[in-house]
Amino acid sequence: MPELPEVETVRRGLQDHVVGRTVETVRVLHPRAVRRQPAGPAEFETALGGRSLDSARRRGKYLWLSVGEDALLAHLGMSGQLLVGEPDRPLSPHVRIRFTFADGGPDLRFTDQRTFGHMCMVRDGAELPAPIAHIAPDPFEAAYDPAALALRLRARHTGVKRALLDQSLISGVGNIYADEALWRARLHWARPTETLKGPEVSRLLTAVREVLGEALAVGGTSFDDLYVNVNGESGYFERSLAVYGRENLPCPRCGTPIRRDAFMNRSSYTCPRCQPRPRRPRL
Ligand SMILES: [Zn+2]
């Protein structure tokens, strides 16, 4: 599933390849891709024709293109991709929406094998689309306030990893980056948030920003001309992972075998020595 660094890579690609261009036609090839559009595919197709795409923005894992006062909002789901390429290339069976441009140049295709992703037009959403207004800023937005976040985090009564994944507290941190940040901050995922000390929270928030920033830097280099890509995996950052997906392999810091625990239908990876389990874990 794409996480913040991958989505940011896509945003930069959109900024480079489609912003400043005027949409000519929009064709919805699968209605599920616009299931959040109130009046359905026809409304989505007509709302954009002849309009210019002004900027590409992001909050957490949501992307939007501002179109005048309105927004074209996208969520990539599990397998969504936004691909830019020559308009005459073959149409793959997983293309859900196709946008052509008035300049006759490269087109934009929303491709989504598993159809969990979606797009919709949001009226007056250019600054912040209403459907995502409840999502907290991510660490790369100007509105992100680590001091306020630290207070809110410690006021919760939950496990620290659950708090990191709570998009109303901080957005853009998925399972992989949560595990990596917790390892760097030497905190166990089940640590109750109300027991975290000030310096532990600062260490954690610094680690979150570092992990996401490093992944972002690597994601940027995999970016190909005319190709706006999300591969649904952790991409090139994979080789830098310390704990995620590394059950029984040695901790890069102390050599202890990494442990995997079940967590919310997924997994949590920790070093049992660097990240001691709390006496009263919140699972
Ligand atoms: Zn260790």
What tens digit of pLDDT does each residue of 160-185 get?
999 999 999 999 888 889 999 999 99
CA distance 59 to 39: 25
CA distance 74 to 238: 25
Q: Examine the residue annotation and report whether 146 is marked as an active-site residue of this protein.
A: no
pTM value? 0.81
Interval between CA 189 and ligand 1 midpoint (Å)? 14
Contact 44, 34 (CB under 8 A): yes
Given the residues 11, 58, 59, 61, select the one marked as catalytic.
61
Given the residues 2, 5, 41, 139, select the one marked as catalytic.
2
Burial (Cβ within 10 Å: 0-12, 13-18, ≥19) of residue 122:
buried
The confidence score (pLDDT) of residue 195 equals: 94
What tens digit of pLDDT does each residue of 227-267 get?
344 433 345 566 678 999 999 999 999 999 999 999 988 99
Q: Give the pair of three-digit tokens for residue 158.
A: 């939950």
Interval between CA 271 and ligand 1 midpoint (Å)? 5
Q: Is 68 left (phi over 0), alpha (psi -120 to 50) or beta?
A: left
The confidence score (pLDDT) of residue 236 equals: 58
Q: Examine the residue annotation and report whether 2 is marked as an active-site residue of this protein.
A: yes
Contact 143, 233 (CB under 8 A): no
Q: Give the pair of three-digit tokens for residue 143.
A: 């509105």
The confidence score (pLDDT) of residue 228 equals: 45
The confidence score (pLDDT) of residue 80 equals: 85
The confidence score (pLDDT) of residue 41 equals: 95
Contact 158, 193 (CB under 8 A): yes
Q: Examine the residue annotation and report whether 87 is marked as an active-site residue of this protein.
A: no
Interval between CA 254 and ligand 1 midpoint (Å)? 4
- Counting as low any pLDDT under 50, the low residues of the chain are 220-234
How far separated are the first and last CA of the chain, in Å rounded?
23
